[in-house]
Amino acid sequence: MKKVGLLLISLAFVQCAAPSLNEKEVEDFVVSHYTEKVGYEEAVEGFKADIGKDFTMMHTLWGESRPFPIENVKGEWFYEDSVTVEVFDIYINGGTAVVMGSDSYWIDGVRTGKSRFNGTVIKEDGKLVWKRYAYASQNQRAMDMVWPSVEGEGSLDAYNDMRYAMVNLRNSDGMAISDSLVEVYPDWASAHLGQLHYYILANDEENLRATLAVAQSKLEGASLAEKTLISAYNPDLTRAERRDVLAKALSFAGDDPMLKFWYTWTLDGNDEKIAVLESGLARFPENSVLNNMIAYVHMDNDNFEAAQQHLNVYMRIHPDEPNAYDSMGDLLVKMGDTEGAKEMYNKAAEMHPDFAEVSAAKAAKL
């Protein structure tokens, strides 16, 4: 029945005089479409040339098929070092081919994304092009997160921006967003996360206790994941007790990368840490904090090559995060590259005030 469905899709695009296709030319086109689309701006024109008139596409996890806005294609989309593709099946009916396969994206030997696709290829104006395309990203199936328990225009975006600032150690940014969320949503406990994060890292116990008390007074309506995560900021917890609390939080939101990061921080053995972080990276291979954390574990194991791979991913995908460069500086110090480390530290110091003092101090010591 699936073959029949694909055949019907294909027949919709076959014209009476459509030239017949052969499997090799179709496979060559598909492989080149992926493998040649790297190198930022160098990939743009080739990508556009592979797209047919009235091309539509659909992410199978998100719903509707829609026209593809080819005018929006940007060089920054093509940041990977390489792309590999595996063609599973090609079904040809006259001038239409239906292709099924899988594509993987790589940076410095680390796979940062993988998806499966089903597309229709035809010959248009004498060359092969994609006419229809559906895909699903393997890592985007993870939905078990600490979601906000409030709804409002922009609330989810602001919440995610706060968390992103927190895990990338732009602590003042996380605090500022947290302050604004508390103002807009005064009864929402998780709005205080950025404040709690700021105070616990600053060892400001007085403000941490006061903020925690306020947040815990607003737990009505919060999810179990939210409640448990907030309780993990209790300054009276021992390392082992905090580990137990975060393990409980992961039972409610097992895909959440911020939880995996904090939980890993409480573990003692490097093998355990790597296992937790790799499980997170399997879902979110481009995540900043997971790549950064596993790089430090590899550094601790003197596996500098693996550490550098993950920090290269961090810097490539998150080029505006000063922590990526500060972390690379730490690695280069361990590798004996003093000048390279200074360059990284100074770059981080120039990028954000939260890094101006600490990263500059590291550079000055070298």
Q: What is the pLDDT of residue 14?
A: 42
- The answer to whether the CB of 105 falls within 8 A of the CB of 114 is yes
Spans in the chain with pLDDT lower than 50: 1-17
First to last CA, the chain: 67
Which residue intervals of the chain bear CATH 1.25.40.10? 267-366
- The answer to whether the CB of 266 falls within 8 A of the CB of 233 is no
CA distance linking residue 291 with residue 279, whole number of Å: 12
Q: What is the pLDDT of residue 60?
A: 84
Structure token digits, residue 195:
């404040």
| Fold held by 2-140 | Nuclear Transport Factor 2; Chain: A, (3.10.450)
Dihedral (CA of 314, 317, 321, 325) sign: positive
Dihedral (CA of 107, 113, 115, 119) sign: negative
Q: What is the pLDDT of residue 138?
A: 78
- The answer to whether the CB of 307 falls within 8 A of the CB of 300 is no
Secondary structure element (H or E) that encloses residue 93, with its range: strand 82-93
Q: What is the pLDDT of residues 255-314, one digit of tens each?
A: 999 999 999 999 999 999 999 999 999 989 999 999 999 999 999 999 999 999 999 999
Which residues does residue 340 pair with via DSSP β-bridges, in sequence order?
A: none
Tokens 């990284």 sit on residue: 344
Angle formed at CA 148 by CA 294 and CA 310, multiple of 5 degrees: 15
Q: Tell me if the pTM is above 0.95.
A: no
Angle formed at CA 149 by CA 143 and CA 155, multiple of 5 degrees: 90
Q: Which residues touch 286 (CB under 8 Å, ≥6 apart)?
A: 112, 113, 139, 313, 317
Q: What is the full DSSP assignment across 3-29? A: HHHHHHHHHTT--TTPPPP-HHHHHHH
- The answer to whether the CB of 297 falls within 8 A of the CB of 324 is no
CA distance linking residue 199 with residue 307, whole number of Å: 29
Structure token digits, residue 45:
């024109």
Q: What is the pLDDT of residue 145?
A: 87
CA distance linking residue 327 with residue 294, whole number of Å: 11
The number of residues making up the chain comes to 366
Secondary structure element (H or E) that encloses residue 283, with its range: helix 270-283
Q: Which CATH superfamily is domain 267-366 in?
A: Tetratricopeptide repeat domain (1.25.40.10)
Q: Which residues touch 88 (CB under 8 Å, ≥6 apart)?
A: 100, 101, 102
The separation between CA 16 and the C-alpha centre of its own chain, rounded to angstroms, equals 45
Q: What's phi and psi for 333, nearest 5 deg?
A: -60, -45
Q: What is the pLDDT of residue 64?
A: 83
Q: Give domain 142-248's CATH number out of 1.10.10, 1.25.40, 1.10.3470, 1.10.150.
A: 1.25.40
User: For the chain, what is the radius of gyration of the CA atoms?
Assistant: 24
Q: What's phi and psi for 146, nearest 5 deg?
A: -85, 85
Which residue intervals of the chain bear CATH 3.10.450.50? 2-140
